[in-house]
């Protein structure tokens, strides 16, 4: 997601909708407030970085990219559970 352009109402509404969905999902992990924002930023950064590297041909090793992506997502899910309950 990107920062909406000032005055671009459609972009602002679309961005707010996406953030709302992500925050709703994170509430299911018992993440709220600043913790949910931290998690949102971590998810966005991880996914954006993976996609940017893949689209630029940055993954040249002969290992299945889809499997690597699945492992990234699995790691994010584990991290969300840890953020929600740091005693685990």
Tell whether the model's pLDDT for residue 87 goes beyond 90: no
Q: Is 63 helix (H, G, I), strand (E, B) or coil?
A: coil
Q: Tens digit of pLDDT for each residue in 27-80? A: 999 999 999 999 999 999 999 999 999 999 999 999 999 999 999 999 999 999
Q: What is the pTM of this model?
A: 0.79
Backbone angles phi, psi at 7, to 5 degrees: 85, -10
Domains defined for the chain, CATH in brackets: 9-84 (1.10.357.10)
In this prediction, residue 24 has a pLDDT band, given cuts at 50, 70 and 90, of very high
């Amino acid at each position: 997601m990107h920062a909406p352009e000032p005055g671009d109402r459609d972009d602002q509404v679309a961005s707010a909708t996406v953030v709302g969905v992500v925050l709703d999902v994170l509430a299911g992990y018992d993440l709220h407030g600043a913790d949910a924002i931290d998690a949102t930023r971590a998810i966005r950064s991880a996914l954006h970085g993976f996609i940017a590297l893949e689209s630029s041909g940055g993954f040249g090793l002969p290992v299945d990219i889809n499997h690597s992506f699945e492992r990234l997502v699995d790691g994010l899910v584990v991290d969300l559970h840890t953020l929600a309950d740091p005693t685990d």
